[in-house]
Amino acid sequence: MLRTLSLLVALVFSTVMSAQSVTIPAYTGYALPVEKEESSLFSDKNGVQQWKDANQQLQYFFFVRKPGKLSVALDAKNAAEGTILKVSVLGKDFSIKIPASQKFKMIDAGTVTVKDSGFYSITIAVTKKAKNSIADIRSIQLSGAAAAGIHYNPKPRRNAASVHLRYPLGDSIKAIAFYNEITIPAGFDHLHSYYMACGFARGYFGIQVNSESERRVIFSVWDAGKEAVDRNKVADSNKVMLLAKGEDVFADGFGNEGTGGHSHWVYPWKTGQTYKMMVTALSDSASQTTIYTGYFFLPELQKWKLIASFRAPKDGQNLRNLYSFNENFWGVNGQMQRKALFGNQWIQKDNGQWVELTRSTFSYDATGKAGDRIDYGAGVNDGKFYLWNGGFQPANAKFGDELNRPAANQRPVIDWTKNADSAKQAERDKQLIFDAINHKQIDTTGSKDGVYYLILKEGTGTSFTANDTVTVFYKGTLLKDGSIFDQTKEKPAVFPLKRLIRGWQLAVPMCKVGGKIRIIVPSALGYTFRSRSKAIPPNSVLVFDIDVVSVKK
């Protein structure tokens, strides 16, 4: 009796398992060759429609958890008779005819045996086309024992899940710079990809593949407030402000994913090449603003390039919530695997000390959290973190996994004199100075190695050099708008000239003790393209009025 009951249970279980079936919506597929942009081929409402190109194939992906028999059928229709399709799965090809019909019909393709769990695909190709249309397909049905617990993406969104590395910081750390290096391996630089190296609470900075002929470096900072779509609805008091941008950099606002200030530079970055990126933060708690600036290092020039500098309102904090990510921002090629390597992460504290970041945690977006896509991962290889998403490969990391890489002990060395845009910026500065002279905004006696000056009062004391220490009263203004960015008040300031900007070292010794001099300093001899203070934007031409009180040799 017990044996009979066991056999009955086994038979029922076998029958249930063989009756298992899942229906994969046809709109979740991908075209081969890969589409470059969205078309009407995949419809959220109708599935595959207007399929007319006989050279175009369709591909569907799924994950089998239990081995066994797997039967495939298409829910399809076509107004005209004559279409023959080839359905390929697990190395077997099945030929099916699409009958003439105005209604969808389930058409069996064939059965295969799945021996192991893992990702598999179904490819549908055209053997013969009926007149002007191939077929409309509403869904793909999988049935049999292997269909039990099968995973597939049920959503119209065909993008791979975005994946992130988050770099935790101690609460006591006040970070003013975040440095990261990024490398995209060959073969993983697919269209519609964003590889982001330096993310922070108010923005992000990375490289993107926008078309077959255009790649970009992108730096963006979010507005304050809660508007998610239309920047025209954002109050001026909540908008970030562009302070400066590099040569040939495009800057504007953005919406639809929050709103903010956007900048990008078209640049043909290459796979296999490591690129250095850095974001700085200059916070002002009094005005509750922070200036965020993105810099990109050009390996072919061995120079840094300013991308853009934005002032963010309702902030006043340092860098926080640091992260990197891989994003597939358009789903037409969401089946392609993307991968990025991130290495040698550092932050600079407000006291100037550099600290290496060797720990990160793995996470993913809503597509991953919902379980729609399960092909993603992260890890450490050759001393670098890596992220990957897409490709329908088994995941190798779980949400919240902690990753640790060995310390590289290669602290960033930032040489601000190596400005990729220095030649063009020098011409721009010179024109600004000449225009100011022609409009009688300023006057000059002469120039010294690129610094223009005017002796306002002849000194009667001793001469001095850049190796000496000076005691001075001074006022610094921007040539662009005359705004004061710094000045002494009741007491003079004491400076070793060697520690000051090059413009001071060159021109201030033109004045003797007891005298007064005005100097006009081009940006290259001032603070260059750095965000030096809240009042001095990058690439600023500076004007100083200086009273030389005394000198210490």
Sequence-distant (≥ 6) Cβ neighbours of residue 366 within 8 angstroms: none
Distances (CA, A) of 35 to 26, 61, 330, 426: 16, 17, 11, 45
Confidence of residue 134 (pLDDT cuts 50, 70, 90): very high
Tell me how crowded residue 532 is: count the other CB atoms within 10 A of its CB. Answer: 20
DSSP type of residue 161 = P
Mean pLDDT of the chain: 94
pLDDT in tens, 452-480: 999 999 999 999 999 999 999 999 999 99
Pairing outcome for strands 289-298 and 303-312: antiparallel
Q: Does 397 score more than 50 pLDDT? A: yes
| Cα 62 to Cα 48: distance, rounded to the nearest angstrom | 18
Is the CA virtual torsion 425, 426, 427, 432 positive or negative?
Answer: positive
CB 225 within 8 A of CB 237: no
Do 533 and 282 meet the contact criterion of CB atoms below 8 Å apart?
yes
Query: Structure pTM?
Result: 0.91
Report the C-alpha gap between 440 and 425 in whole angstroms. 22
**Which two structure tokens, joined as six digits, stand for 461?**
């004391």
Contact of 222 with 258, CB cutoff 8 Å: yes
Q: What is the residue whose two structure tokens read 């600290």?
A: 355
Do residues 83 and 135 make contact, with C-beta atoms less than 8 angstroms apart?
Answer: yes
Residue % of the chain over a pLDDT of 70 = 97
Q: Are 195 and 164 in contact (CB under 8 A)?
A: no
> In this structure, what DSSP letter does residue 284 have?
E
Residue 19 scores a pLDDT above 70: no
DSSP class per residue in 495-514: EEGGGS-HHHHHHGGGS-TT
Half-sphere exposure of 484 (CA within 13 A, CB side): 7
Q: Is the dihedral of CA 105, 110, 111, 114 positive or negative?
A: negative
Phi-psi region of 484 (alpha: psi -120 to 50; beta: other; left: phi over 0): beta
Residue 162 phi, psi (nearest 5)? -75, 140
Map out the domains of the chain with their CATH numbers.
20-147 (2.60.120.260), 178-279+293-310+320-404 (no CATH), 422-552 (3.10.50.40)
How does DSSP classify residue 286?
T
- Span 255-273, pLDDT tens digits: 988 999 999 999 999 999 9
Residues 307 and 315 sit within 8 Å (Cβ to Cβ) = no
DSSP β-bridge partners for residue 496? 469
Band of pLDDT at residue 3, cut at 50, 70 and 90: very low
Contacts of 402 (CB under 8 A, 6+ apart): 359, 360, 361, 362
**pLDDT beyond 70 at 8:** no
What is the rounded distance in angstroms from the CA atom of residue 80 to the CA atom of residue 100? 5
What is the pLDDT at residue 500?
Answer: 96
53-75 pLDDT, tens digit each = 999 999 999 999 999 999 999 99
Stated length of the chain: 553
**Cβ-count burial 411-427 (b if 16+ within 10 Å, e if not):** ebebeeeebbbbeebbe
Per-residue pLDDT, 268: 98
Q: What is the pLDDT of residue 11?
A: 34
Mean pLDDT of 279-297: 96
